[in-house]
Amino acid sequence: MLTLSGRAVAALYPQDPAPGIGAPHWLSYISVDSAHDTARRTKELGGTVVVEPFDVLDVGRMALVQDGTGAVVALWQPRRHAGAGVIGETGAMCWNELATTDTARAETFYTGLLGWSFDTREMGGIRYTTFARDGTPCCGMLAIDTSRGPIPPHWLVYFAVDDCDGQVALVQSLGGTVRVPPADVPGVGRFAVVADPQGATFAIIQRKTEGR
């Protein structure tokens, strides 16, 4: 477990070296009341259950699913462990974002699977969808920019930082790489997409504050 000020912020584990597992990566989890029922509903909505629901000791029950566009995400039915103990603070996860080749299909899938509502509007020159649960924004979605080459549909985790450019420099000094250099998103903040030395990709964002 990775902690921030004593609170769970993320986790890591050795990757199975078996062929077909893929490169090192971050995996987003969605909390659900029942991993079994949500996995069943995934199939009804045209998705795929990659790993059927199973118990993780006594801490929870999980499944791995793939939406109809190909993006993979985990379902988490909490028991002893609810998940991240801190969200939104500097150094912690603050957002999850789906990049997909078919936003309409993904929108239908996730709203039908999880009861999310959505709002789509122009943001920084792109059409961006914000999903909400019970009126509270929980994650976003955008279409994959094909000009960047072949990128498969995927979920991307964001971590909050105080200095985007400074953190990008730190990433490089630690052997990581920059996938998308720092850029401003009007009204939101400054972000970058980076990868650790093993190639696991994640985003960082310095959120806009009043007067900045």
Q: Rounded CA gap, 69 and 146, in Å?
A: 15
- 93-207 CATH: 3.10.180.10
Convert the pLDDT of each residue in 101-143 to its tens digit. 999 999 999 999 999 999 999 887 889 999 999 999 999 999 9
- Is the CATH number 3.10.180.10 carried by domain 2-78? yes
Looking from the CA of 97 toward its CB, the CA atoms found within 13 Å total: 21
Q: What does the alpha-carbon distance between residue 13 and residue 26 come to, in Å, rounded to a whole number?
A: 11
pTM: 0.93
The residue that leads in pLDDT, 150 or 207, is 207
Number of Cβ within 10 Å of residue 160's Cβ equals: 18
In angstroms, rounded to a whole number, what is the distance separating the alpha carbons of residues 53 and 59?
A: 14
What is the Cα–Cα distance from 12 to 29, expressed in whole angstroms? 13
Q: Is there a shared CATH topology between the 2-78 domain and the 93-207 domain?
A: yes
Rounded distance between C-alpha atoms, residue 166 and residue 171, angstroms: 9
Q: How many CB atoms lie under 10 A from the CB of residue 147?
A: 5
Q: What is the pLDDT of residues 144-186, one digit of tens each?
A: 987 777 889 999 999 999 999 999 999 999 999 999 999 998 8
For the chain, the domains span: 2-78, 93-207
